[in-house]
Amino acid sequence: MSKRIKKLMEERNITIEQIAKETMINIEKLKKIINEPHEGDVTSVKLIALVLDVSIDDLIYDNDFKREGGKEQ
């Protein structure tokens, strides 16, 4: 999940500060969630997924599933 979040942040040009602002999760907690995924609670992971515009599954499972009509490309 860690690599996936970092990759999505880079692709979408979103900083950790932006995620913190939009999710109201403090930066230290975000860093911990990103670097140590087992530290993340479901609510926090869901908020991060919303900001990155992906499903929780897309964050947890590092696959190339694209959400176009629910079909893989």
Total domains in the fold of the chain? 1
Q: At CA 25, angle to CA 19 and CA 29, rounded to 5?
A: 100
Residue 71 inside a domain? The answer is: no
Residue 54 inside a domain? The answer is: yes
Query: What pLDDT shows up at residue 17?
Result: 96
Phi and psi angles of residue 54, each rounded to the nearest 5 degrees, phi first: -135, 165
Residue 20 inside a domain? The answer is: yes
Count of other CB atoms within 10 angstroms of residue 46: 14
- The answer to pTM > 0.95 is no
Q: How far apart are alpha carbons 22 and 48 in whole angstroms?
A: 9
Residue 73 inside a domain? The answer is: no
* Per-residue pLDDT reduced to its tens digit, 22-68: 999 999 999 998 888 777 788 999 999 999 999 988 888 765 544 44
Residue 9 sits in a domain whose CATH number is: 1.10.260.40
